[in-house]
Amino acid sequence: MTGWEEIRDEVLRRIRARLWVPGATIPTEEALAQEWGVARATVNRALRELAGEGVLERRRKVGTRVTLHPVRKATLDIPVTRREIEARGQRYGYRLLAQAEAEPPPAVALRLGLPPGGRLLRLECLHFADGRPVLLEDRWLNPEVVPVLPDFHRISANEWLVAHVPWTTGDIAFSAANATAAEARLLDLAEGAALFIVERTTWESDCPVTWVRLAHAPGYRMHTLL
């Protein structure tokens, strides 16, 4: 029993074998380190990992216990649209439908924390897989953050932003919605088709960057890795 990964696996094994049941306190780091003949830091690393995944709960002085009400943590990878489509082995296509400066609807301004009346750059575009439209993008961009802009006919805002405004923070929400008549026409669907909606708000250190709504055509599945 050497190495924090082996120790992590052994802890998981004991939990699954009901040796340590949910809600119960497990032995201290010290005791486990002694039992397995490793340093306490090694046990700590393993237990910290499991606590991060939500399997264990740790509190100073109290000890480590197996989580009683497990909250499944699903980690999703959200790549740039082009790479996501290409990863499925399909040919990627892109078309800019509209680009204009305008006043955003109140809901968008609110989410970005902007005062009403400001003006943002609005982009509407379509993404294609093997020539078929699969994703409608509706984006509002704060021109103050990115004063020099590229030609969005050639590169998608999505892709340009991750390269030029890296490592922003944000907020993502998922939902479902019926396609409006306009959406159905653009995505070549029947009106009312169920769309998978991703809404994303992006910030760069307290400054709003962009809000975007991605409407995925039916057939789209988002999937956890593990």
100 by DSSP, 3-state: which? strand
Burial class (CB in 10 A: 0-12, 13-18, 19+), 131: exposed
Site string for DNA, 35-74 (x = CB under 7 A): --xxxxxx-xx-xx--x------xxxxxxx----------
Site string for DNA, 126-165 (x = CB under 7 A): ----------------------------------------
- CA gyration radius, the chain: 24
Stretch that binds DNA, among 22-30, 82-90, 184-192, 213-221 (CB under 7 A): 22-30
The answer to the question of residue 222 lying near a second copy (CB under 8 A) is: yes
**Residue in 51, 96, 114, 193 binding a second copy, rule: CB under 8 A:** 193
**Residue in 60, 61, 154, 221 binding a second copy, rule: CB under 8 A:** 221
Question: Can you say how many angstroms the Cα of residue 202 is from the centroid of all Cα atoms in its chain?
Answer: 12
Tell me how many residues contact DNA (CB under 7 A). 25
The answer to the question of residue 194 lying near a second copy (CB under 8 A) is: yes
Which H or E element spans position 184?
Answer: helix 181-187
Give the span between the Cα atoms of 163 and 175, in whole angstroms: 27
45 by DSSP, 3-state: which? helix
Complete edge-to-edge strand list for the sheet that includes strand 56-59: 25-26, 63-66, 56-59
The answer to the question of residue 9 lying near DNA (CB under 7 A) is: no
The answer to the question of residue 60 lying near a second copy (CB under 8 A) is: no
State the minimum distance, in angstroms, from the CB of residue 143 to a second copy: 19
Which contacts qualify for 12-18: CB closer than 8 Å, 24 or more apart? 12/50, 12/55, 15/55, 15/66
* Count of Cβ atoms closer than 10 Å to residue 95 Cβ: 13
Interaction partner, residue 150 (DNA, a second copy, none; CB < 5-8 Å by kind): none
Stretch that binds a second copy, among 92-100, 104-112, 138-146, 188-196 (CB under 8 A): 188-196
Among candidate residues 53, 55, 69, 5, the one with its CA nearest the CA of residue 26: 55
**Residue in 169, 182, 185, 188 binding a second copy, rule: CB under 8 A:** 169
Are the beta carbons of 217 and 135 closer than 8 angstroms? yes
Contacting positions for a second copy (CB under 8 A)? 12, 15-16, 21-22, 55, 66, 69-80, 83, 162-163, 166-167, 169-178, 192-197, 204-205, 216, 218, 220-224, 226
Contacting positions for DNA (CB under 7 A)? 2-5, 28-30, 37-42, 44-45, 47-48, 51, 58-64
